[in-house]
Structures are given as structure tokens and as C-alpha cells.
Structure 1
Amino acid sequence: MLPPTYVEGFHDLEAVKAMRYSSLGSTGLLVSHLSLGGGALGGFYGEFEEAEAIEAIREALRKGVNYIDTAPWYGDGKSEAILGKALAGVPRKAYYIATKVGRYKPITQKMFDFSSKKTLASVEESLKLLGLPYVDIIQVHDLEFAPSLQVVLSDTLPALASVVKQGKAHHIGITGYPICTLKELLEMNAKLQSPTKIEMVLCYTRATFFDCTLQEYLPFFQSKNIGVVNAALTGMGILTNAGPPDWHPAGDEIKEVCRKAAEHCKMAGVELGRLAVYYALNEVQGPATHLVGLNNKEILMSNLSLAIGSKAGEGSKPFTPAEEKALTEVRKKFFEGLQSHHWEGIEISRYWKAMNNL
């Protein structure tokens, strides 16, 4: 059965047939198993050719990837602007797109703003950059950085509800690193006399070789019919042969273990990032979609080949016996028994320390 986003004459029919699609909570959206993350379009992972990124985005959509996630934070609007160029001329029916509010600029005092006024202005700016009259989902970005969850409940979410009422977004979601905070916000919202309808959550780096925290919370989200997006399958680059970017917040223990795993993969002639993506797509059960950033066609074809195999087309790379062997070895040798498996609290502590020093 073809998804509602299928457009004859635009899509690669065989690739779409090969892609898995799942319902995203109560939204009514049937999203692709592999989805497209806009973080890499913001320059967080190095330089890239914009023209190649645009072609990769369009090719991903043609091959059946139908869910896109972006945010103003990704390159101070750069990600949204590039997506706006890539989506020009693409049938609007062919994709769902989500953006965010709350996190903005790489300057401490201008990084976060969860006020109603800023929220409404941000939505308008995002629509302008994307060149769209509406987004399918509007999300509160990294809500753990808000002065309090009460600010999100009383300011941010009601503003987003008004955006939905105006037809500029169709559904509301929340994102963050500490999954316990996402759960807390949902529980607080449910107790309000007039709760905001929240239909999905985005969790990142919480279903990887070194952190399975998402699995602990899936039953709660599922019981509330909340759609789950699993993002950052390579742990924001830490699970790659190249290693993490300089800004990565992980502690020394995780970084060292991942470095050793990467060295093992290099010796075996395989890419750790592919093992991490394969693991998420094939072994992490529960999320409606798995979100992976990309800014070139090589990354796209690698990810597509892991999601739909040979139907990805020319340039696809099937998962090999050598990769299967390395996957087993890496998980057993480096990640079993890892003690420090997350970095909750580190970024928040740094942020508030910087704010207090202003």
C-alpha cells in the first residue's frame, strides 16, 4: 500500500514500495522509516556544497523519505533556507515537514526564548525561509533549557496552539535531550484545565550503542498515543570513524570508548556510522521514524541502502558480512557494560553558568 504522500510522476515507485511507513501517534501522518534531519544543513558538521545538498534532499524525497525535520537553530536559519530552495517545485503533498521554536542563536543571551511573542515571530520567519504557507508539525526545541516548564506551558504552547488554529501548522510536538523532562511536561500539561494538544516527541541520541534510555520511556509515550521520532542515530557524530565535532557535549569516557570503536572499524575496513544507522533502523523498535542528518548524496545513498536495500538504486551499498561481523564485535567489545552512557545535565549546567556570568 502506498503512503498518502505518494505522487505519481514524482516518486520512484519501487523505492517507495520498499520503504516502511508508520503512523506518527495521533497525527494521522504516515511517516517513512528513514527521515531527513536538517541539522547537517546548518553547518554543525563541517562545510558542504549547497547545490549537492539540495539535490540530495530532492533525491531523498523521490526515493520515499517523506518526513523532514529542521529548526531556526540549525545555522541561524541556514537549514530552513536551504530546505526552502530544495522544496521549491516539489509537490507539497509529497512530504511532511517539522520545524521548531525556542532555540535560536549561538550567542548565550540570544540562544533561548520561549516567550509567546518570540514564538509567534519565529513561526512567521520559518515559513518565510521555507517558502511554505504551513508546516505539518511545530515543536518546542530543547524545552529543558526554559527558565521553567511552567513558561513552556503558559507561554510557548498556547502560542503554538494559536498557530495551529490559524492553519500555519497542523500538529504540536516537543523535543529535548532528557526524556524524563519530556514526560514531565506531558504529565503537567495533561493536568491543566485546558491542555494543549501535544502529539509527538523528538528524542535524540537516546537509542544508540551507548544509550538505550528511549526504550524505558516508549511504553509511556505509546500509552498516550504520542508519536516518537528517534533522532541523531550516530550520536551527533560520535559514532563515526571521523569522530565527534569539537562542540560535542559527551564526557571523556563515552568519547574514548567511541574512539576505540572507530579505530576497530577502521582496521576492519568498515564505517562505524553505518553500523550505528543500521542498528537503529533494524533493531530499535517503537519510534515511528528514525531521523538522520545529511548534506550530500553519498550519505543519502548509504542511509537509503540500509533502509530499503537494492531499491535505493545506483550508488547503494548493501550491508555486508564484514559489517555484520564488525557490528557484533563493536557492541560486545566496547559498549557492553559502559557505565557513563549519557551527558544529561552537562549542557544545561554550562548554559546557566554562562548566563549567570553575563
Structure 2
Amino acid sequence: MRSRVFGRTGRSVREIGFGAWAIGDAWGQVNDDEAIAALHAALDAGVDFIDTADVYGDGHSEQLIGKVLKARGGERPFVATKAGRRLPQQTVAGYSQDNLTAFVDRSLQNLQADTLDLVQLHCPPTDLYYHPEAFERMERLVAQGKIRHYGVSVERVEEALKAIEYPGVTSVQIIFNLFRTRPAELFFQQARERNVAVIARVPLASGLLSGKFGRDTHFESNDHRQFNRNGEAFDVGETFSGVPYEVGLAAVERIRPLLAGDASMAQLALRWILMAEAVTVVIPGARNPRQALDNVAAAGLPPLSADVMEALARIYVEDIKPHVHQRW
């Protein structure tokens, strides 16, 4: 895997990371032994960036990561977590110094760390981006040595553009995949000019872009792909990237003929993301070692041809864009 510089930190990370939402909760039954094995497999394969959050399994994801890193010893990978979604209601007032400090202290304990590499405000209310004092509170946590860097995880491109106006924002995590291409229009250019790291999340559109789903695929009741289809629990853009399920299935069938060699649909989707130089790291999830290794292997695929890139762009414009482009 290539390494890319993580914004102004000066630290380099390999371009395929490990997204740890799926080993926490909201993706059906979680097997801790398999999750731990997935983490080990990813790290053994060279992954050195892990993304988690304090609400993934109410801290369970963080705890598994802390357990694995303690067992391995040696140099720790870059671990990014998030804070803010544990609030009972998403309000600007909730992002107080006391609350943010409490969230960070809990993550430090869960991850068995002395300092957190990166804490991201976890899809806060849009109004928060217009309150400089919220970012000043993160600066205090840096000054106290509790965190090294801070960033944001956003729902909308407009939030990302506002966030990077704050000089202390090191990174932006944003949904970017074959079904959500809008960040590449303006935001990526602005991020590069300001030397802000970009973390591409939901890279497989909640598994739609794995090419393994069909009309009769069953999702467990505790899987967000079942309980959040219409945004019942959180922003619907987090589930299948906001694309209506059957629309996404049809688009996947148009993509399938573009596969070459032994590459899987998921690997094609990941390789497409890596074609964007503004992306620092992409964070596909993995719940077992095979998935983790398949994700890493995507980095070894050759660059996609101009014809394939053009065909993928056409599928987006014709099938997907009307459903998502202006909304996020």
C-alpha cells in the first residue's frame, strides 16, 4: 500500500485503513473473536490507521481496539475516534467543555491510551460549525495533552467546507464513494489547499458496492441497513449512502461488467476512491480476517482506465445523482 501524508500532522498513513463501526454494533451480530482476528489481520498486512467512535457499541469497538493494541505492543497505529453522539440530544449546548472532556477521558480509558491521536466531532448539528467556541474547546484538550489533533466527521459537503475554515481542524471525515461523488467537486480542492486530511468513509455504501446483495437479502433487526432504511435512527445518508436500495442494486448491475481480472466489486469501488489524490485514507469495515485482507488487496490493483472512470461517472449521473447529489 502507498502511504499518504495525514494533512498538517506530517505523519504518513497507508491509504487503506480499518473502519471499526462494524465491530461495535449496528451491523447485525458481532463476534468478538472474529473482530479481534480481523484487526490483527489488517495490522499484520500493514494497515496503520484505525477509525472508531465512542458510540460504536457504547465503547465496545474502542475497547476491542485497545485490547488488541495492548496485546501486540510495539508502535501503535494511528487511532482516530469520535465524540458527541453520546449526547441524549444533538444540540450546540451539548458540546460543552465538561462534556467533551468526559467523552475524551472515557475514550482514553477504552483505548488504553495516554493521548488520543485524533478526536473527531461526530456529525454534530450544522449550527455547531458557526460556533468558534466549540473548536476552542478542542484546542484546550490539545493543550492539556489529552488529544494530539482534532477534526470533524460530517454529513454534508457544506459542513466540511465550513469546518476547514478553522485552522485547528486537521481532518475531515466524509462519505465518498461511487454513489456519493459530490465531495470531489469543490471540497477536495479546498482541503488540499489548506492541507487538511480527508478520511473517506462508507466506501462501499453499506455493502451495496460489494455486489453481494439482492432483492431478497435479509438484514438482522439490529442492523442499520434494516432499521435505518428511511432515516428512522440517524441520517439516512449513513445507510446505503442515502440511495434507495433497489436503485442501488440496479446500478451495481451496470457496474459489474466493468470488473477486470480477479478484482471483486468491493475492490473496484475502493480502487476508485484511491484515484482521488485528495483522499488521505479510506476506511472500509471488516468483521473477519478475509474481509480485512480483501480490503487491503484493493490497493494493489492498477489504476482504473479513463474508459472505466468515464463509465462509472455516467452510471452515477444517470442512476444515482438525482437521489443524493444536492442533499448531501
TM-score, with normalisation over the residues of structure 1?
Answer: 0.73
Unaligned runs of 5+ in 1: 1-18, 191-196, 310-318, 347-358
Show the counterpart of 1:202.
173
Question: 1:239, CA displacement in angstroms?
Answer: 2.3
Match of 1:178 in 2: 156
Q: Deviations along 1:214-263, whole A, 9 cap, x unmatched?
A: 21211111111111111221123332322681214259864332112345
Distance 1:344 1:70 in 2: 28
Give how far 1:172 is off.
1.3
Of structures 1 and 2, the one scoring higher in RCO (CA 8 A, sep 6+) is: 2
Distance 1:329 1:182 in 2: 26
Q: Are the structure 2 counterparts of residues 63 and 73 from structure 1 closer, same or farther at C-alpha, using a change threshold of 3 Å? A: same
In 2, Cα distance between equivalents of 1:328 and 1:198: 31
- Pairing partner for 1:260 from 250, 255, 261: 250
Q: Deviations over 1:59-94 (max 9, x none)?
A: 211221101111112122121111111211223524
- Shift of residue 287 of structure 1? 1.0
Distance 1:37 1:253 in 2: 21
> Residues of 1 paired with 2:318 and 2:40: CA distance?
41
- In the other structure, the counterpart of 1:104 is 86
Amino acid at match of 2:37: E
Helix, strand or coil for the counterpart of 1:284? coil
Structure 2 unaligned spans of 5+: 215-223, 230-235
Question: What is the alpha-carbon distance in structure 1 between the residues aligned to residue 139 and residue 120 of structure 2?
Answer: 11
Q: Could you say which residue in structure 2 is the equivalent of 1:7?
A: none
Task: Please say if 1:337 is aligned against 2:308.
Answer: no
Distance of 2:297 and 2:26 partners within structure 1: 24
Query: 2:41 maps to what in 1?
Result: 59
The one of 36, 52, 56 equivalent to 2:18 is 36
Aligned residues: 300
Instruction: State the identity as a percent.
Output: 25
Q: Which amino acid aligns with 2:12?
A: L
Q: Give the match for residue 299 of structure 1.
A: 291
Residues 333 and 228 (structure 1 numbering): CA distance in 2 closer, same or farther, change over 3 Å? closer
Q: How well do the aligned residues superpose, as a CA RMSD in angstroms? A: 3.2
Instruction: Name which one, 1 or 2, has greater alpha-carbon Rg.
Output: 1
Counterpart CA distance in 1 for 2:126 and 2:158 is 15
Distance 2:126 2:159 in 1: 11
**Deviation by residue 1:20-66 (Cα, 9 ceiling, x = unmatched):** 10111111110111011111112222213211111211221122110
**1:266 to 1:198, Cα distance in 2 relative to 1, 3 A:** closer
Where in structure 2 are the equivalents of 1:167-316 lying within 5 Å?
167-187=145-165, 189=166, 197-204=168-175, 206=176, 208-216=177-185, 217-240=187-210, 241-242=212-213, 245-246=225-226, 247-248=228-229, 249-250=236-237, 254-262=244-252, 272-281=265-274, 283-308=275-300
How far 1:175 moved relative to its partner?
Answer: 1.4
Q: What is the rounded CA distance, in whole Å, between the counterparts of 1:67 and 1:159 in structure 2?
A: 25
Kept in 2: contact 1:71–1:99 (CA 8 A):
yes
Select the residue among 122, 132, 136 that pairs with 2:113: 132
Q: Distance in 2 between matches of 1:333 and 1:183?
A: 26
TM-score, scaled relative to structure 2: 0.80
Aligned equivalents of 1:297, 1:329: Cα separation in 2: 33
Asked if the contact 2:180/2:325 (under 8 Å) is kept, the reply is no
Query: Hey, which bits of structure 1, 4+ residues long, moved more than 6 A?
Result: 264-270, 327-330
> Which residue does the alignment assign to 2:219?
none
| Deviation of 1:330 (Å) | 7.8
Give CA-to-partner distance per residue, 1:283-319, whole Å, 9 cap, x none: 233211111111211211211221246xxxxxxxxx9
| C-alpha distance in 1 between matches for 2:164 and 2:265 | 35
Cα distance in 2 for residues equivalent to 1:90 and 1:131: 13
Q: Which residue of 2 aligns with 1:118?
A: 99
Name the counterpart of 1:50: 32
Note the alpha carbon deviations across 1:115-135, whole angstroms, 9 max, x for none.
Answer: 221110000001111111111
Does the residue aligned with 2:47 lie in a helix, a strand or coil? coil
- Cross-structure match for 1:149: 129
Amino acid corresponding to residue 149 of structure 1 in structure 2: Y
